[in-house]
Amino acid sequence: MASKPLNVGIVGYGFMGRTHANGFRKVSNFFDLEYRPVLRAACGRDEAKLKAYAEKWGWETTETDWRALVKRKDIDVVDICTPNDSHAEIAIAAAREGKMVLCEKPLSMDGAEGEKMVAEIEKAGVANMVWYNYRRAPAVTLAKQIIDSGKLGKIFHYRAKFLQDWTISADLPQGGAGLWRLDAKAAGSGVTGDLLAHCIDTALWLNGSISTVTAMTETFVKQRTHTATGKVEEVGIDDACAFLARFSNGSLATFESTRYARGHKALYTFEINGENASIFWDLHDLHRLQFFDYADESRTRGWKSIHVTDGDHPYMGNWWVPGLQIGYEHTFVHQVADFLKGLETKTPAGPTFRDALETQYVCDAVLSSASTGSWTKVKQLA
């Protein structure tokens, strides 16, 4: 039975504000943990929207200034769900106040900013984590367990893509709720930091570090009206990005992301091929893991589709009964559960800020390679 309350203060009430709040609310119903999140305060600039959000999700109090929130004595954890350009300032201020810090992905605008965040958070010695939620889809965690068991043998290939189609219209403005993702000043980059960052995080977790990359990017719609100014302004983000990579373990990879793949809404897939076995996962079918094992008897050998819903599958013993599947929102519940378990066992749940900095380094190398047109070394964690 959960006993110790852990007071959470969230900054931001958009899409991620909802996924995180849901995670904090549900976790104690399904996981037996020493700590129990209390939805203590929600923070955002628009008071009317903030109040509506707080009421809907059960946040006890509100603040319209995050600087006041991070100073509050009754807050243990500051959770950042704001656009990317404010992650660093809020995270550093919260760490200096001795708060634990959770930060929505990507960690930072770039590697240099991420380094400052890691330095501050580690100096403060506070618990920290970045919300790369797809690691916690049970099928993806199962993939990690299978790979770590050595079943795949030597890894030859990694293949990932994240395809969407929601920015094809040239009439879509940049800036504002949700659309800040199209504004380079708020987002840092386009699909590289928003979507490929997910693919890179999973890849680093499953297959180790990436040593070099060569990339190409494109901005298909070059000017869009800015919501803040009402003026037509240059678009600074990458609408699409594809890159080749070499992992330090010798395997080769392809990564692709776009918001211009008509018909695809959030098609995140990855495949990993080893000498003995292969794995494939698809976000649109997130409760299944496709697995091919060359060790199977030859006449019945083939790809099998594992329905990852059994009690002995990762996280699933905490949910319903075998055969009944869960979905996207549960990845956030799992992330909260792992964070709390990490506090309990004093074994930090990943990705920590430091882990997430590695993803920033790969994103930096990808964007740099796209502009120089050459193979680029990825900076490695110190």
Nearest of 4, 22, 17, 19 to residue 43 by alpha carbon: 17
Of all residues in the shown chain, the one whose CB is closest to ligand SOE is 194
**CA-CA distance, 61 to 342, in Å (whole number)?**
27
- The 107-146 site mask, x for binding ligand SOE (CB under 6 A), equals ----------------------------------------
Q: Provide the CA 160 distance to its chain's centre, in angstroms.
A: 15
Give the whole-angstrom CA distance, residue 26 versus residue 143: 25
What stretch of H or E contains 89? helix 87-96
Shorter beta-carbon distance to ligand SOE: residue 24 or 132: 132
Residue 201 binding ligand SOE, by CB under 6 A? no
**Identified binder of ligand SOE from the candidate list 79, 97, 113, 194, rule CB under 6 A:** 194
- Coil/strand/helix, residue 304: strand
Binding status of residue 216 toward ligand SOE by CB under 6 A: no
**Minimum distance from residue 319 beta carbon to ligand SOE (Å):** 21
Q: Shortest gap between Cβ of 382 and ligand SOE (angstroms)?
A: 27
Residues with Cβ within 8 Å of residue 110, at least 6 apart in sequence = 188, 360, 363, 364
Among 168, 266, 267, 306, binds ligand SOE (CB under 6 A): 266
| Residue 228 within binding range of ligand SOE, rule CB under 6 A | no
Smaller CB distance to ligand SOE: residue 216 or 266? 266
Question: CB-wise, 279 or 286, nearer to ligand SOE?
Answer: 286
Specify the residue, 167 or 352, whose C-beta has the smaller distance to ligand SOE. Answer: 167
Nearest to ligand SOE of 119, 179 (CB atom):
179
Q: What 3-state DSSP class applies to 1?
A: coil
249-273 exposure pattern, b = at least 16 Cβ within 10 A, e = fewer: eebebebbbbbbbeebeebbbbbbb
- Which positions touch ligand SOE (CB under 6 A)? 164, 194, 198, 266
